Amino acid sequence: MPASAPLFGAVLGVGVQLYVNAVRKLPLMRDPWLHVLWAGAGASFGTWLVSFEERTEKDLAELLRKREEANKHLQQ
Amino acid sequence: MLFLVSSADFISLYLALEAQSLCFYVLAALKRNSEFSTEAGLKYFLLGAFSSGLLLFGCSLIYGFTGVTNFSELARIFTGGTQEFLVSTTALPACELGMVFLLVGFLFKITAVPFHMWSPDVYEGAPTPVTAFFLIVPKAALFGVFLRIFGESFYDFILPWQKILLVSSLASMILGSIAALSQTRIKRLLAYSSIGHVGYLLAGFACGTIEGIQALLIYLVVYIFMNITMFAIILSALRREHLQVVPRLKYITDLAFLAKTNPVLALTFTVTLFSMAGIPPLAGFYSKAYLFFAALSSNLYLVAVIGVLCSVLSCFYYIRLVKIMYFEAPKNWCSFSRIPVENAITLAITLFFILFFMFYPTPLHLITHKIALTLCL
Amino acid sequence: MSLISTILFFPLFGVLILLFVPNWKTQLIRRIALNTSLLTFLISLLLWIEFDNSTARFQFFETFSGLPSNGTSIGGFSFSGFNFLFGIDGISLFFIILTTFLIPICILVSWTSIQTYVKEYCIAFLVLESLLIAVFSVLDLLLFYVFFESVLIPMFIIIGVWGSRERKIRAAYQFFLYTLLGSVFMLLAILLIYFQTGTTDLEILYCSNWSETRQIFLWLAFFASFAVKVPMVPVHIWLPEAHVEAPTAGSVILAGILLKLGTYGFLRFSIPLFPFATFYFTPLIYTLSILAIVYTSLTTLRQIDLKKIIAYSSVAHMNFVTLGLFSLNTQGIEGSILLMVSHGLVSPALFLCIGILYDRHKTRLLRYYAGCGRTMPLFALLFVFFTMANISLPGTSSFIGEFLVFVGTYQNNSFIAMLAATGMVLGAAYGLWLCNRLVYGVIKPHFINEWCDITRREFWMLLPFVISILWIGIYPEPFLDALHCSVSNLISHGM
């Protein structure tokens, strides 16, 4: 997943532009430079999402640990 | 709205709420040459002001009997050592009464039953982009702030407010699904279906556990995306009439031309409707399943059963829209006009979210867990 | 990539290719769809060849570890996401092969009769194929539910868009809502199981125990969902409607596979997970099955629509299957699985024959057809053969299935077996009567004007059915061998 996140994002980005063209009833590959733009946007979104997930997971583990410690005296 | 969510005190809550509501009243009456719109704005203003008054009364009761308006101070009072002090005076029932008024004001604003009467009229009369705004923003903002109030300050009063919220949620779910069955206009249909969705959200709220709050937040996010898609489609179904482009999608039978002129848009609409009905493997199913899981784990069995039954009922009218789109012949001439690019981009992003959320729900899961924990800690 | 994921994703790969083919190239679209489904069938035959008959473990086991299935932990409960686990044992093997066998036939059947929205039609069937293969091979309770329900969407679209009459929308609605209503109770039960045991992984759940009252509730919730799919009386009403209104290929896949989803659910989930409740509710199932068998067989005798006759006979056959399933001994369960497979071959074949008639004359009413044997001899031969198979003539596969079912049921409860045998007689009654009225008799020239016999495409569609029915009927050993280990594991585990 970490390696393929930008790939997934790029595929999704191209998909977005294809969809935009399809729903506007234009030929699918009109404005091909926009496809590249969206691929890049999608790839960056993919990497950001994966890093966001890791950061949130670390924060969450931190919060849960503090919670465990605070409740420790109740569990005796 | 941002002030509202970050408020930590009743006074700032009320100020932000009123400021936000004033803007909403004006927005509802935006189309100045339409009676519908003016009527909607007036209705919203009268009822909104009334409910804000009730909210203020609740706040003042609580201030009167406890002397503080700050949420964290209230939390300390209600759970800390001064509990005996409250019980020995007559303060405790009065605080409950204040909390009930607070709840009433809250339920008004998010159009829950039995305070929902204004919403179909207002949502229908307001201009369509404004309706989209109404469906999404107040609910998100108010749920945010009231999660904090009830999760932090009033948590000890959970027995009364859980009961009230459960009743409201059950009634909203049932009313939302039954009343929408007979609607013929799209915006009213969406208003009633949003009342149903609010019922589900309140059920998650009423659980009172971290999973409940998490389920509520996930459902809220998915609800926002689904509504954005719906309104993007409704706003894009433009038609050319008398040399000008007119958005003319008022009645549900107007949808009949959609499948013939723009099959991709019709397909998107179908996917969104199935997601709202809670059919796997779309995002709406995941959020509903997690909500029922949270309800079951808090032993709210009746809510879960009625929830699933209402979701089947609501499926009926969503599928009726699909049927009208695909299987009915349009009544007058169809013409079509190209969708603006911004609508198309919005549609693309939200559609892909609905389609692919099931395969990668983890980030949303994690962030809502974090939010739930920070609200309760 | 392992075998199961190949079979799962191959139809989706075909869908991807089809998305880029322009709408007007219908012949190319049909060829691509047909080739994709045929290749999937050949790959699934590999599954059978490489299947190990001597173990009841799940084979070709596979997880998609790339997908994030980690979740959050809250105290003791962690929502571990979806475990994308796939595996096959003896019970699911034949359903997967049946699915991949039927879908090319479906695409062939609509070669000339579907002219509108051909691309969407083929895409719908390929997506349906993927979902069905996923249903039969997934080893996770929640995912089974997800795929179980997702099957509804393509079927709704197929019945609604390409059905034949105005009533099709009502039929599609009924199909969708009946099934959905039953299934939401199953969703609640699954969530309850997840809450109690903390996992939805099937292999772990097989080893867990529930208290007896809880088992009864959970079993009933699962029953609500599977009973609608089987279909059992009194929730069987959607089936004749859906069959009559669906296009021929839709009927084929409905009768061939979708009905098996309910009994597969019983076999895979209700019986192993809740053994006490299974014992407790066996009388209920027996009563409902016998009711259904006798009632629907009698109802068939008064039908005038060809498809409705076969649809009601499908109901009767599927209730034979549940009868055998709940006899809870080896012969009963093996017989019911074999009967499921055989019914999955015979009923689609009969629907295909009716579709052939419908393509020519655009009517399904029995009054207008008589004496087809004189003008369409090859068709008459095949139709009589399939009717004999429907009646469970010895030598055909349904005989093996029904015989084993009777043996199993007799060991359990001889009165029920006796009543079921009367169902067999009634089956012969409607089958022979249908056959007589259709194939023999005096030709009605004022109704029937086209006399051409079956074409080469239709013949090649029907021939595989003949071969498989005869093969299972005369030499069922390979099939029974593959089933045996898993079934005995099922029985010994539960009791």
Distance CA B121, CA B38 (A): 11
Chain-chain contact of A53 with B363 (C-beta, under 8 angstroms): yes
- Percent of chain C past pLDDT 90, that is, above it, reads 35
Chain-chain contact of B316 with C194 (C-beta, under 8 angstroms): no
Mean of pLDDT over chain C: 85
Sign of the C-alpha dihedral, residues B257, B259, B265, B266? positive
Q: Which residues of A touch C67 (CB under 8 A)?
A: 1
Shortest alpha-carbon distance between residue C189 and chain B (Å): 10
Nearest to residue B326, comparing CAs of C460, C36, C120?
C120
pLDDT at C3: 79
C76–chain A Cβ distance below 8 A for any pair: no
Phi, psi dihedrals of residue B275, rounded to the nearest 5°: -65, -40
The 8-class DSSP code of residue C73 comes to E
Distance CA C464, CA C382 (A): 12
Sign of the C-alpha dihedral, residues C231, C235, C236, C241? negative
**Contacts with C, B 137-166, CB within 8 Å:** none
Q: Which residues of C touch A60 (CB under 8 A)?
A: 72
Size of interface A-B (CB pairs under 8 A): 60
Alpha-helical segments (H) within B149-209: 158-179, 186-207
Shortest alpha-carbon distance between residue A2 and chain B (Å): 13
Tokens of residue B247, six digits: 């958005």
Among chain A residues, CA nearest to B372: A60
Distance CA C61, CA C139 (A): 9
pLDDT at C70: 40
**Contacts with A, B 265-294, CB within 8 Å:** 265, 268
pLDDT at C310: 93
Q: Which residues of B touch C70 (CB under 8 A)?
A: 362
Which subunits count as partners of chain C given 3+ CB pairs below 8 Å?
A, B
Q: Is the pLDDT of residue A1 over 50?
A: no
Q: Which of A1, A60, A64 sits opposite C68 (nearest CB)?
A: A1
The 8-class DSSP code of residue C232 comes to P
Q: Is the pLDDT of residue B134 over 80?
A: yes
pLDDT at C73: 37
The 8-class DSSP code of residue B340 comes to P
Q: Is the pLDDT of residue C69 over 70?
A: no
Residues B202/B169, Cβ–Cβ less than 8 Å: yes
In sequence order, the β-bridge partners of residue B239 are: B246
More confident residue, C113 or C17: C17
In sequence order, the β-bridge partners of residue B70 are: B9
Chain-chain contact of A53 with B338 (C-beta, under 8 angstroms): no
CA angle B278, B139, B121 (to 5 degrees): 90
Residues B236/B137, Cβ–Cβ less than 8 Å: no
Chain-chain contact of C66 with A64 (C-beta, under 8 angstroms): no
pLDDT band at B1 (very low <50, low <70, confident <90, very high): confident
Mean pLDDT of C66-78: 38
User: Which strand (E) or helix (H) includes residue C150?
Assistant: helix C141-150
Residues C392/C352, Cβ–Cβ less than 8 Å: no
Residues C370/C361, Cβ–Cβ less than 8 Å: no
| Residues ≥6 apart with Cβ < 8 Å to A58 | none
Nearest to residue C130, comparing CAs of C18, C25, C281?
C18
pLDDT at B88: 53
Chain-chain contact of C153 with B365 (C-beta, under 8 angstroms): no
Residue whose structure tokens are 């303060």: B91
pLDDT at C110: 85
Shortest alpha-carbon distance between residue B268 and chain A (Å): 9
Tokens of residue C334, six digits: 């093996």
Q: Which of A7, A20, A23, A48 to mutate to test binding with chain B, by most B CBs within 10 Å of its CB?
A: A23
Q: Which residues of C touch A8 (CB under 8 A)?
A: none
pLDDT at B365: 81
Distance CA B145, CA B80 (A): 22
Q: Is the pLDDT of residue B89 over 60?
A: no
Alpha-helical segments (H) within C198-305: 202-205, 212-229, 238-245, 248-253, 259-265, 271-273, 275-300
Q: Is the pLDDT of residue C169 over 80?
A: no
Distance CA B125, CA B123 (A): 6
pLDDT band at B246 (very low <50, low <70, confident <90, very high): low
pLDDT band at C143 (very low <50, low <70, confident <90, very high): confident
Chain-chain contact of B370 with A22 (C-beta, under 8 angstroms): no
Chain-chain contact of A60 with C66 (C-beta, under 8 angstroms): no
pLDDT at C359: 84
Nearest to residue C80, comparing CAs of C65, C89, C68?
C68
Among chain C residues, CA nearest to B302: C188
Q: Is the pLDDT of residue C126 over 90?
A: yes
C175–chain B Cβ distance below 8 A for any pair: no
Chain-chain contact of A59 with B370 (C-beta, under 8 angstroms): yes
pLDDT at B91: 65
The DSSP annotation for C411-452 comes to: HH-HHHHHHHHHHHHHHHHHHHHHHHHHHSS---TTT-----
pLDDT at A76: 60
Which subunits count as partners of chain B given 3+ CB pairs below 8 Å?
A, C
Q: Which residues of A touch B268 (CB under 8 A)?
A: 23
Chain-chain contact of A1 with C72 (C-beta, under 8 angstroms): no
| Residues ≥6 apart with Cβ < 8 Å to B127 | B30, B31, B37
C12–chain B Cβ distance below 8 A for any pair: no
User: Residue A28's domain spans which residues?
Assistant: 5-75
Chain-chain contact of B369 with A60 (C-beta, under 8 angstroms): yes
pLDDT band at B330 (very low <50, low <70, confident <90, very high): low
pLDDT tens per residue, range A17-67: 888 888 887 887 777 888 888 888 888 888 888 888 888 888 888 888 888
pLDDT at B54: 92
Q: Is the pLDDT of residue B251 over 70?
A: yes
Tokens of residue A26, six digits: 């234009």
Indicate the SS3 state at residue C392.
coil
Nearest to residue A28, comparing CAs of C165, C22, C486?
C22
Mean pLDDT of B170-181: 90
C68–chain A Cβ distance below 8 A for any pair: yes
CA angle B287, B288, B289 (to 5 degrees): 90
| Residues ≥6 apart with Cβ < 8 Å to B159 | none
pLDDT at B238: 60
Q: Is the pLDDT of residue C467 over 90?
A: yes
Burial (0-12, 13-18, 19+ Cβ within 10 Å), C304 = exposed
Shortest alpha-carbon distance between residue B341 and chain A (Å): 7
Distance CA C254, CA C347 (A): 10
Residue whose structure tokens are 């969104």: B272
Tokens of residue B193, six digits: 């279906």
Nearest to residue B204, comparing CAs of B122, B130, B112?
B112
Beta strand pairing call for C59-63 and C72-74: unpaired
Helices (H) and strands (E) in chain B, counts: 17, 2
Residues B279/C150, Cβ–Cβ less than 8 Å: yes
Distance CA C29, CA C17 (A): 9
Residues B272/B351, Cβ–Cβ less than 8 Å: yes
C211–chain A Cβ distance below 8 A for any pair: no
CA angle B235, B241, B247 (to 5 degrees): 10
In sequence order, the β-bridge partners of residue C140 are: C201
Among chain B residues, CA nearest to C180: B312
pLDDT at A3: 63
In sequence order, the β-bridge partners of residue C68 are: none
pLDDT band at B243 (very low <50, low <70, confident <90, very high): low
User: Which strand (E) or helix (H) includes residue A45?
Assistant: helix A32-70
B359–chain A Cβ distance below 8 A for any pair: no
Q: How many domains does chain A have?
A: 1
pLDDT at C72: 39
pLDDT band at B168 (very low <50, low <70, confident <90, very high): very high
Q: Is the pLDDT of residue C66 over 50?
A: no
Shortest alpha-carbon distance between residue C188 and chain B (Å): 7
Mean of pLDDT over chain B: 83
More confident residue, C13 or C81: C13
Residues B369/A60, Cβ–Cβ less than 8 Å: yes
Q: Which of A12, A25, A57 sits opposite B366 (nearest CB)?
A: A57
Q: How many domains does chain B have?
A: 1
Q: Is the pLDDT of residue C77 over 50?
A: no
Q: Is the pLDDT of residue C306 over 60?
A: yes
Distance CA B110, CA B142 (A): 7
Chain-chain contact of B210 with C74 (C-beta, under 8 angstroms): yes
How large is the ipTM? 0.84
In sequence order, the β-bridge partners of residue B246 are: B239
Distance CA B77, CA B160 (A): 18
Residue type, B106: F
pLDDT band at C67 (very low <50, low <70, confident <90, very high): very low
pLDDT band at B334 (very low <50, low <70, confident <90, very high): low
Chain-chain contact of C73 with A64 (C-beta, under 8 angstroms): yes
Chain-chain contact of C68 with A64 (C-beta, under 8 angstroms): no
Chain-chain contact of C146 with B358 (C-beta, under 8 angstroms): yes
Mean pLDDT of B162-180: 90
Chain-chain contact of B347 with A57 (C-beta, under 8 angstroms): no
Chain-chain contact of C73 with A1 (C-beta, under 8 angstroms): no
Mean pLDDT of C131-150: 88
| Residues ≥6 apart with Cβ < 8 Å to C231 | C238, C239, C259, C262, C315, C318
Residues C253/C106, Cβ–Cβ less than 8 Å: yes
pLDDT tens per residue, range C171-227: 888 888 888 888 888 988 888 888 888 777 787 888 888 888 888 999 999 999 999
pLDDT at C76: 29
Shortest alpha-carbon distance between residue B310 and chain C (Å): 10
Nearest to residue B112, comparing CAs of B138, B90, B133?
B138
Query: Maximum distance among all alpha carbons in chain A?
Result: 69
Distance CA B264, CA B267 (A): 5
Q: Which residues of C touch B200 (CB under 8 A)?
A: none
Q: Which residues of A touch C66 (CB under 8 A)?
A: 1, 4
pLDDT at C339: 94
Distance CA B149, CA B153 (A): 5
Distance CA A43, CA A49 (A): 10
pLDDT tens per residue, range B191-217: 999 999 999 999 988 887 888 888 899
Is the whole-model pTM more than 0.95? no
Sign of the C-alpha dihedral, residues B281, C314, C319, C486? negative
Residues B151/B161, Cβ–Cβ less than 8 Å: no
Distance CA C334, CA C479 (A): 10
Distance CA C36, CA C181 (A): 34
Q: Where are the domains of chain C?
A: 274-495
**Contacts with A, B 305-344, CB within 8 Å:** 336, 338-339, 341, 344
